[in-house]
Structure 1
Amino acid sequence: MNSTKFLFLFLFFLLSNSLFSQIKIKEIELDSIFEDSLYLNISESRPIIPLVKNWEVFNPESPETKTTVNIPSNFSNIEELTFNKKVRINSSDLLKHDLKIFFNGINYASEVLFNDVSLYKHFGGEIPFEVMIPNDIIKLNEENLITVKVFHNLSSDETIPVKQRFLFPANRGGILKESFIQFIPKFHINNPKFKNSVNVEKSSAVVEVKFDLINSRSKKSNPITNLRADLKITEINGNFTQTTTVNLNQNIKSAEISSQLNGIKLWDISNPVNYKAEIIIRNDSTIFDSYSSLLSFYQLKKDEDKFLLNNFLFSFKGTTYFVNDKENFNLVSLEQLREDLQKIKSLGFNSVRFSKAITNNYLLKLCSEIGLFAFVELPINSIPDEIISSSAFIERSEGIANKYIEQISQFPSVAALGIGSSFLYKSEAQKSFIKKIANQLNQSSNLYLYASFKNYDLFEVNEIDLIGVELFDADLSSFNQFVKDNPTLKNKIFISEATYPAYNGSTNGYLNNYSFEAQAKYFEEIIQLSEDNDLLGFFINSMFDYHGDFASLSTGYNDENLYQIGIVREDRIVNTIASQVIASKLTDSERVTIPLGSKSDDSPMMYIIIGVVLSLIMALLFNSKRKFREDATRALLRPYNFYADIRDHRILSGLHATILMLILSAAMSLFLSSLLFYFKDSKFIEQILLSFGSENLISLYGYLAWNPIEGLIYLFVISVILVLLTSAVIKLASFFIKTKVFYSSIFFMVIWSSLPLAILLPLILVLYRILAAEVINLYILIFIGIYFLWLFQRLIKGIYVIFDVNRVAVYFYAFVFMFLIFGSFVFFYQLNYSTFYYIKNSLMQFGII
């Protein structure tokens, strides 16, 4: 990354959003989705008008600037866009039909208008919704205007997901999935609910369906005679067909049909047989309406401490998957989705966890076809107690959960529904939230419920069926011992995500941390641990590398915000050593040997070289210049007298002061760069920076930490600027006293007060190596903190000496000034981003409080 990137980040952090005024819109082709009649429930009685081509898009603040796009499309660098499309409705279309408009995914919030009449306001991200269009606002035989106002402004406490998102896939606003108008018969099926019970031994099943019948036909219409309802079950790609018929009364409002099926084929991971269930409302001469749904017949039940699939022992062996593309972010083609899931299946996985996002319906359909169980969940992650316990957040979560249940209930591949992730078992507020949402979901769904926790301990939440444990480069021996010590928890525990970054790429062996080889070794041990302890299952995080909105430290910083944690790289080529190891373990094929290698040293030699050079320059200056040596000795040992000499304009060398400023600035930049480089992949630092909700802040930190050479240069420049800026601030303060103080005097005082930094040079040049040894780190950090307090005390002493005022007053005003600066900072970030709630939650996650 060149210097332009750093300057861009630095200026952007200072100038906020003013640099990004250009709207970016991406789009992909999705025409083939309308050929899938079962997925979209298209039939002769329910034709559709695809709403794909030629949407007019504009910023509502400048409506004169318009562009034309196709959907699905997403946008960035703006919080609101308006989509307009004109559609023609013929009068003949409304004789036997009403109109309903479908949106299968809009992010985040939206308002739908038809001919400028508001139909619906949607909140809750990509959950599908549908809206009936009143006949009295439809213009017949002419163009009608569909308007969709899309809002995308994630909040720290008012949206799900929230703004602060750890390793979430990129979240872009837009109309992200298929949209269409469907013609609904005036006499039609509404709200069908399918339920089936399977007898594995007899290869039989009972299918029950309950549905409402809506009749909006004119009262002058002819009465319907011999009304019947058929339930037709057909094996997809097979020969089985069975139809059950019941007679209906014309005035009936609801109905139910039960069908006994014998000789069915059971759905299984290795043989995913699916069926189509179709409800047909008809009489002797006319089909009034039909409605189709996907069915799969299997029995997945939890028996004490294990799962049984069709009476065979079963454990979940899965990976996480994120809908993500390098160029289009959360827009991915249907072909790519299918290929991705097929690659997951090819490695031997039997399950997929769709975490941190509302799941794409098409993925759930693909899971049924390919033979994968789906774990889906609410995109709730790392929410502070103060927010998660609020009635507004709970109510919002309950609303989204209810809609989510309606969405996923039609897909038989869904095995479990998650309430969220990165919960804390020590937090009563978070456990209370889980219980409330679980109690609600248990009333409306028979799915297994789970919650994923950041850490583990002896605890239980009775309202959920499964407890997920997240292991991010964790000590597996400790977790293994925990499981062995608490065998009663085995009936609930599964590894919900095992993460190991591989940002160091290919090396000579797994002794090199965060290499491809080390990642393969870690995943191999995860699988072995799960098998040895008979856990309910595991999910490796994730199948592919993916991009996010925030730069990441813990997964390897890069300017593309690529999270390098996947089994396979983002190019989707399945040839990594991790994929080979996993495939060999899950398919019982030939064992793959992972090379041991030798551990390499990542310590930058330039730290030592620059530190030695600075030390030599300082020693040369001290020993060759008597005046400098005397000034340095007095400044260090008798600072009061030295500052008094500055105040009284005793002769000081401006050249010496300037050289000293450059040396001390270089020493400070070397010190800061060493610290940043040591903490470059710190999960804790990443979580703290995320708490501020600023993409630019964490990018700036990541750039400085992961690019030590460039970081040294820019930190040096910043250090010099801070010396000049500090001098200027103190000069402004001098206007409030009677004594006239020259800028040069202040400048000399600021420089010489920092002289003790030169004494630290021997420590600074080996600081990274000392920290990397991880033996006395706590003591080193405490010592550094005390040392910098001493530097601050020397600066304050210099101010009250050259100002010739009472020291108490200077200390008082210095603390008032810092309090105002810090208080303004706190107020702004807490008010806008709930920052300190998130910092507190991060401290709890890492066991600090």
Structure 2
Amino acid sequence: MISGHFCIIFPPTFHGVFSVLPRPFAHYPQTELTKIPLTFYRILPLLLSLLGVLPGVSAFGQVTIYENGQPTLVGSDASVHLDNQYRRKIDLAGTWSYTIDNESWKDVKVPSSFDYKGRITFMRKFTLDRATLSASSFHLIGLGINLDAEVYINDVFVGRHVGGYTTVDIDLPENALQLGGENAIKIVVNNNLSSRSTLPLRKQILGWRDYSGIVRDIYLLVTPRLWIDRLVIHSNLSQDLAQGSVDVVGVLNSKLSGSAGDTLSALVGSGQPLLAVDVIEKSSGAVVGSSAPQPVTIQPNRDYEVRASVVVKTPRVWSPETPDLYTVRARLFLQQARTVRGIDELECVTGFRRFDIVGNAFQLNGKPVVLRGVVWHEDVARRGGSLTYEQMEKDITLMKTLGANAVRFAFHPPHPYILSLCDRYGLLVFEEIPAVSVPSEILDQENFKLLAEAAISEIIERDRHRPSVVAWGIGDDFHSSDDRTRGFVERLAGTIAKLDARPVYFGSRVFASDQCAGKIPIAAFRLSFDKSSQLKSAMQTWVREHTGQPVVLLAYGKDVEPENRNGWSDPMSQEAQAEFFKKSYQSIGEAGIAGSFIDAFADWRGDRPWMSIGSGDRTVYRVGLLSYGREKRASFEMVKLIYNGEKTTALPIGRYRASFPVAHIVWGFAVIFVIAYLYHYNRRFNESFKRALLRSYNFYADLRDVHTVSIPQTIILAASVAVTLGVIASGILYRFRTDSLADSLVTIVFVSDSLKEKLISAVWQPFLGILAFSVVFLAVYPVIALFIKLFAFLVKRRVSWYHAFAVAVWATLPIVLLSPVGMALFKLLQAELYVIPTFALIGVFVVWSFLRILKGISVIYDVSRVKAYAGGCAVVLMILGGLFAYYETTYALTAYVEFFIQLGRSLS
């Protein structure tokens, strides 16, 4: 309080109502008139601090680390690089040091997932004895280092790998390792994503979390200096299932040096190296077939291929019901007269099965099979993307309990161990590259095609021996009605055909006019969570447009409020989610498609907050049959009954009544009441209102001639306009808060996740949200006044701060006339007939107000209206041009806007 009065002062011209307040502002000296708006600017930060009442996630803070730290698995159950007498692993799991700022170092257990964007340096030490170093070759193996990894041994750069979900395999040069002493390994990891030039791209909503770090197992593989580098395995099964064959290409390499400690060089020189392949029944250990030994030609530091084939009579056939497996063992040995000396062995697990496409259906081993699948995301509470072996096996056993016979690993290749579990437990696998929601413009770029080809080639090389993998995916959520997408699909399909015979798929979100699925064996589409009501019509369209092809629904599901058990009449309850799957699977059966995948097996965490989530952690997408922490929901039990062919039970309907957002009505009515009250009971406001609206030139001329308008009335009008705009913004966002395309467009604009969190909180809490939006719009007035003041210097005019502020406020007077529209906006936008007219009306009033500001500037500057309009439009265009240039270069604005608009048209 100042001199017994409050700081906010109103003149007595508000007849009677404010008569207790001090003298009218019209009597204040001109210097005081210029000080009052400055006071407003000073308190503006306090007004903006009101935004802090909205909960959100800070963009700054400590790095969250989800540690696993388990030792690398060894023995027969290891997913890759099985140990034997000739090769072993030096486990690098455990404690590492890391730094983010290159100054302070901290310890962390590896594998681990860093919830962090940027560059992290990891370091640890290991020792090698002289005998091992002189007789062996060393390879750094990382099953997942995200994304870009540079590797140094004793500060010597030894290699780089790009791709966080495929295997890092770097041969370590001999001169980089130290005899007997400690060796330091340093890995510099960078997971920054681009909107154009990385794979994956910077993610949109409903993607996955871009964890950084050494996310999966890491170890040194110690092999002989002449070793089998890899096996290319193709298992085949005759049509009558009576005979199997395994075609193997063994790729060998050599680092034989002839040094004193290299005893193998002398031995190889005295005999003939040979390669033989055995096929072993995994359950019994019996050898069921062997190839003839093939001679090997030694070529130091170069790959050398040796081919062999093995025939297996009456093999045990792999299927989800009987997942019988075989081990392919390649033996490299030295033949010296009658003496045989082993050099190296490499084993891979495979199986015999036929997965064929016959018409519009799949056949497994000659029998029709319909895919009953789930979508699995490599993420879990408290571990992030670094799941333990036990957690992966628990998930697979739950899938089998559920009755699923297939799993789709979205949106990238998973840990090899979970694929080995699919081999062992019997699950058909759809595996894909991390190309999700990629605009056609970017799919058409040569650099992106090369990245995608490299990724799919690495995946195929790693996993083609697995019987569980039945299809390769080249991406998801493409706009498949675009010619540029078709070019990408055809090229990737051609690349895959050269490497493997498995069918290819990608996910499309369009309902009609698809141009791409016909170019590959499987026609696959996906359904957004907000488009679940269109499931039946979408399936009918895809079946009709892709006759002769198996149609697969790659993803369908429904979001849920985890604690909501109000019965299925409540659309966000667990029962509603369960009822959705019950009805959807019935529709899927009636459509006769080849398979479907429920999205998702469990909740997962993404990079972008999802606007559909009203409260809680909005980056945890709550759509799973299980929660993020793997607690079962009602939908799990329902799907278990459906997938196992059991009778479903009736779910409680509950009592649910939809709520209506009254905040927009309350705030809108408040604006109408204030303006109407002042208009009818305050003569000065009445006159100013009519003159500003109907005779604006005279109004601005009076301001120019220093005939001031009431400051309290100006501030009240500014607040009323800001609240009206706040009601409109809140109403629009509230109406489209669960619309995936609207959320995608919001994500493009609000690139800061923290800012988007605040926005979502404002949308779901309309009372506070409208207040927050109003403060933001109110803050625009000082900015406009600042521009008016600055440009006054260019035209050599003296304009006070208050007059600049008053021009900005009174020019936007027409906006308050939209208050009734703002009150009814939620209902208006629910009717498609009124959507375009409503937006057009709002747009007209905004443009009208902008032109009125320019008109006011022309009057107080005393320049022609044409010059004011031209200058004002030029300034706005420069600002918009700068924003566009920033968004375009950094976030590929036009590509994504075009992509989502195309999707919107296709979906409609």
Quickly name the TM-score band, shorter chain normalised: over 0.9
> What pairs with 1:145-544 in structure 2 (closer than 5 Å)?
145-199=184-238, 201=240, 203-214=242-253, 216-217=255-256, 218=258, 219-221=265-267, 231-238=277-284, 240-242=286-288, 244=290, 246-247=292-293, 249=295, 251=297, 255-282=306-333, 284=339, 286-457=341-512, 459=515, 461-472=517-528, 473-474=531-532, 475-483=534-542, 485-486=544-545, 489=547, 491-503=549-561, 506=564, 508-544=566-602
- Equivalent residue, structure 1, for 2:168: 129
- Indicate conservation of the 8 Å contact 2:274/2:296, yes or no: no
Matched, 1:94 2:133: yes
SS of match in other structure, 2:418: helix
Deviation of the 1:404 alpha carbon: 1.7
Change in 2 beyond 3 A, CA 1:620/1:548: same
SS of match in other structure, 1:34: coil
**Within 2, Cα distance between the matches of 1:574 and 1:504?**
10
Change in 2 beyond 3 A, CA 1:829/1:480: closer
Structure with larger RCO (C-alpha < 8 A, sep 6+): 2
**Cα deviations by residue, 1:185-241 (Å, 9 ceiling, x for unpaired):** 233323322222224745542233332444544443375669765544443344654
**Cα deviations by residue, 1:519-562 (Å, 9 ceiling, x for unpaired):** 33333333223322221111121111111111112455654411
Match of 2:80 among 39, 43, 62: 39
- Indicate conservation of the 8 Å contact 1:551/1:557, yes or no: no
- Indicate conservation of the 8 Å contact 1:425/1:457, yes or no: no
Moved more, 457-466 or 783-792: 457-466
**Within 1, Cα distance between the matches of 2:639 and 2:49?**
41
% same residue: 24
Deviation of the 1:351 alpha carbon: 0.8
Deviation of the 1:509 alpha carbon: 4.8
**Within 2, Cα distance between the matches of 1:69 and 1:598?**
50
SS of match in other structure, 2:498: helix
Counterpart of 2:640 in structure 1: which amino acid?
A
Matched, 1:144 2:183: yes
**Within 1, Cα distance between the matches of 2:618 and 2:481?**
36
Counterpart of 1:262 in structure 2: which amino acid?
K
- Indicate conservation of the 8 Å contact 1:21/1:77, yes or no: no
Change in 2 beyond 3 A, CA 1:819/1:38: closer
Deviation of the 1:271 alpha carbon: 2.5
Change in 2 beyond 3 A, CA 1:573/1:38: closer
**Within 2, Cα distance between the matches of 1:226 and 1:801?**
98
Deviation of the 1:734 alpha carbon: 1.9
Match of 2:693 among 616, 636, 644: 636
SS of match in other structure, 1:569: coil
**Within 2, Cα distance between the matches of 1:211 and 1:446?**
19
Counterpart of 1:668 in structure 2: which amino acid?
L
- Equivalent residue, structure 2, for 1:16: none
- Indicate conservation of the 8 Å contact 2:145/2:168, yes or no: no
**Cα deviations by residue, 1:741-782 (Å, 9 ceiling, x for unpaired):** 222222223222222233322332232233235442221111
- Equivalent residue, structure 1, for 2:684: 627
Match of 1:704 among 735, 741, 762: 762
**Within 2, Cα distance between the matches of 1:639 and 1:840?**
40
Matched, 1:802 2:860: yes
Deviation of the 1:464 alpha carbon: 1.6
SS of match in other structure, 1:491: coil
SS of match in other structure, 1:424: coil
The total of aligned residue pairs comes to 838
**Within 2, Cα distance between the matches of 1:174 and 1:835?**
29
**Within 2, Cα distance between the matches of 1:833 and 1:719?**
25
**Within 2, Cα distance between the matches of 1:356 and 1:539?**
13
**Within 2, Cα distance between the matches of 1:251 and 1:442?**
30
- Equivalent residue, structure 1, for 2:21: none
TM-score normalised by the chain length of structure 1: 0.92
**Within 2, Cα distance between the matches of 1:805 and 1:38?**
78
- Equivalent residue, structure 1, for 2:42: none
Matched, 1:661 2:732: no
Change in 2 beyond 3 A, CA 1:662/1:227: closer
Change in 2 beyond 3 A, CA 1:767/1:21: closer
Deviation of the 1:460 alpha carbon: 5.2
SS of match in other structure, 2:658: coil
Deviation of the 1:505 alpha carbon: 6.3
SS of match in other structure, 1:501: coil
Deviation of the 1:427 alpha carbon: 0.8
**Within 1, Cα distance between the matches of 2:820 and 2:439?**
42
- Equivalent residue, structure 2, for 1:48: 89
**Within 2, Cα distance between the matches of 1:74 and 1:679?**
34
Counterpart of 2:523 in structure 1: which amino acid?
I
Change in 2 beyond 3 A, CA 1:413/1:758: same
- Equivalent residue, structure 2, for 1:720: 778
SS of match in other structure, 2:198: coil
Matched, 1:105 2:144: yes
Change in 2 beyond 3 A, CA 1:64/1:744: closer
**Within 2, Cα distance between the matches of 1:598 and 1:813?**
59
Q: Which 5+ residue runs of structure 2 have no aligned equivalent? A: 1-47, 259-264, 299-303
**Within 1, Cα distance between the matches of 2:548 and 2:616?**
39
- Equivalent residue, structure 2, for 1:588: 645
**Cα deviations by residue, 1:353-373 (Å, 9 ceiling, x for unpaired):** 112223221121111112111
Q: Which 5+ residue runs of structure 1 have no aligned equivalent? A: 14-18
**Cα deviations by residue, 1:365-418 (Å, 9 ceiling, x for unpaired):** 111112111101111122223322122111222122211211112322111001
- Indicate conservation of the 8 Å contact 1:280/1:287, yes or no: yes
Match of 1:683 among 740, 744, 760: 740
- Indicate conservation of the 8 Å contact 2:568/2:654, yes or no: yes
- Indicate conservation of the 8 Å contact 2:606/2:619, yes or no: yes
Change in 2 beyond 3 A, CA 1:191/1:224: farther
Deviation of the 1:91 alpha carbon: 1.3
SS of match in other structure, 2:760: helix
SS of match in other structure, 2:507: strand
Counterpart of 1:655 in structure 2: which amino acid?
P
**Within 2, Cα distance between the matches of 1:342 and 1:843?**
41
**Within 2, Cα distance between the matches of 1:227 and 1:746?**
90
- Indicate conservation of the 8 Å contact 1:230/1:243, yes or no: no
> What pairs with 1:749-768 in structure 2 (closer than 5 Å)?
749-768=807-826
Change in 2 beyond 3 A, CA 1:588/1:220: closer
Deviation of the 1:570 alpha carbon: 1.6
TM-score normalised by the chain length of structure 2: 0.86
